[in-house]
Structure 1
């Protein structure tokens, strides 16, 4: 009887130690799936995908392309108070964005919606999403595939540019950013990320004049 009691106690101790050990990251590194420690939510595959992106250069090229987009195009659109309507200035900016985006059919983009701090948190999150949707809809009208604008996120009032509780136009905005590459695109499937990033694209600049033979006489002004 005493021996049986000792056996049960020992078994309970082993179970307790196993439960404690299973929470220890070093212990888990031996028994979890590869990459699990770098993916705390245990979504196996995310860590592997991240490693592949690093090894192939996709991560670096995505960063470089994102930097280029931010440097060459206005990425922010502003809105009126409590509005998701695009004014003429916003449409001008989005036309420039669309011209840039359409040169890179292999790339996906994300639109983030923001608001100022007036109103409730839940309402502002909804308003930020409406603004993001308005931008996506307009870019779609300009020929950008919706499948490349699939991720729309609202930060509401949580990330102000200007910290204030009042109305602030600069906080009422959307921001368009490079998200990554379209994985089913044939060029991307071949891993030609560098060619995509450094490829020359057609811009909207007016070409240099080819006029010749103009004399100074033709430029005389009225007296």
Structure 2
């Protein structure tokens, strides 16, 4: 296995360098392109799988190299696909208050309740509907992702009420995206109530951060492996 790692290390390093850092024109944040990173990870995984499936040392080496090539293509394909989707989403939500965060191959859209719903309501504001129209248009262009929608609240009020409110809000966002043309089989709506805070509920600022809906876009890996 040590020899196999020596074979794939230069390939992985080159692909990681390909994922060079860039500055996002909308957020001003420096980010690393995920295509090279995905390709490097795919190469490593593919090489390991290929090596383990071989019998003799020569066979293991050959299978590792083949696995690395296949894995790099699949990993790079996922990364490039999500890169393009991320760039379009950043443009579509610019100035709306919706934040876009990249977590590996996943893309997370954070919709604060202050711009998405009225107080103690699950009815979308007009500005939220406008933003979701644009988000829905992008999602239709990238059908090889699952759309997981999670509703969250702060800890004000009873836990049971907050659970129900988070579920209604997740459903409201999911239903609107469906009406905008995103197919239902891609959508998963879940409410988490007050159970997954991202900040302290001891301050108004923290509670405002916790009241949110997150849309997580996850690549459907099987579709990339078949390409």
Q: TM-score, normalised by structure 2?
A: 0.49
Larger relative contact order (CA 8 Å, sep ≥ 6): 1
Larger radius of gyration: 1
Greater strand content:
2
Q: TM-score, normalised by structure 1?
A: 0.50
Greater helix content:
2
